Amino acid sequence: MHTYASLRKDLEKLGIPQDGTLLIHSSMKSIGDVEGRADTVLDVFMDYFKEAGLLVFPTLTWSNVNADQPVFNVRETPSVVGILPQLFRQRPGVIRSLHPTHSLAAWGREAAAFTEGHERFDSPACEFSPWRRLVGYKAQILFLGASIAHNTFLHGVEEWGHAANVLTEEKQNLISIDYDGKAHAVPSRRHQGNHSTFYDRMEPHFRRIGALREGRFGDAHCVILDAPKIAYYTMEMLSKYPAAFNKNWLDEHPRFFQEYLG
């Protein structure tokens, strides 16, 4: 069974700076048996960063906030991406951004500044959102037992790189309830096209440019990506091939990812 002490050693071996910024996509079950379960895992990460670094989890609600259920409550609406984000968002000192479908929860250095203003824009990960701030914060993205196909950050990269067919034209009239109970109207476009189906095909590209490394945490295989490096590389690719993650286009160019790598 994994313990706080053993998991702390695993985290140290991953070589993540304690004063840096880390976004975690996670699968709790992939870690294996943990004494104290999910709370111990969160204790390990939060104690590692203290207040010198910034720890971030996606607390997405894209499947339970929509035109039929338009209200997002920052305190009450559950995340749909696993137990670790769900417990993390409820911990003291954690601040969750107010986007109704693609919120992030942050703890530590500059958490309030990092999450601020997410509800002001009509797309989930626009260039002024916390998702783009991950670039400025020189963040690393940890896939803890999760595939890099679950890389929501790349949805943002597609938005910033003006990729084809990323967002719906129509907007849903969503509402965000903030920590003080105030309602904010957030007309929102949605991601479309299931582009993330193809994100894992970027793995050899990211490895080649030195933006991907691997390790273990408990039983979980981990992949760590350098957010600025993968953002700039992918945006350069999209500037030449805006439809690179579109199924119809890829059906016509089945060897695109291999050929682009060269």
Q: Mind listing the pLDDT tens digit for each residue in 157-204?
A: 999 999 999 999 999 999 999 999 999 999 999 999 889 999 999 999
Whole-number pLDDT of residue 22: 98
Is there a contact between 243 and 165 (Cβ–Cβ < 8 Å)? yes
Among residues 175, 199, 170, 198, the alpha carbon closest in space to that of 185 is found at 175
Q: Please give the Cα distance from 166 to 155 (Å, whole number).
A: 8
Q: Please give the Cα distance from 223 to 215 (Å, whole number).
A: 7
**Predicted TM-score of the model (pTM):** 0.96
Q: Please give the Cα distance from 164 to 159 (Å, whole number).
A: 9
**pLDDT tens-place values along the chain, 262 residues long:** 999 999 999 999 999 999 999 999 999 999 999 999 999 999 999 999 997 999 999 999 999 999 999 999 999 999 999 999 999 999 999 999 999 999 999 999 999 999 999 999 999 999 999 999 999 999 999 999 999 998 999 999 999 999 999 999 999 999 999 999 999 999 999 999 889 999 999 999 999 999 999 999 999 999 999 999 999 999 999 999 999 999 999 999 999 998 886 6
Is there a contact between 204 and 216 (Cβ–Cβ < 8 Å)? no
Whole-number pLDDT of residue 262: 61
Whole-number pLDDT of residue 234: 97
Q: Please give the Cα distance from 83 to 120 (Å, whole number).
A: 28
**Residue 201, token pair as written in the block:** 């095909």
Among residues 219, 222, 221, the alpha carbon closest in space to that of 16 is found at 222
Residue 224 has, within 13 A of its CA and on its CB side, a CA count of 17
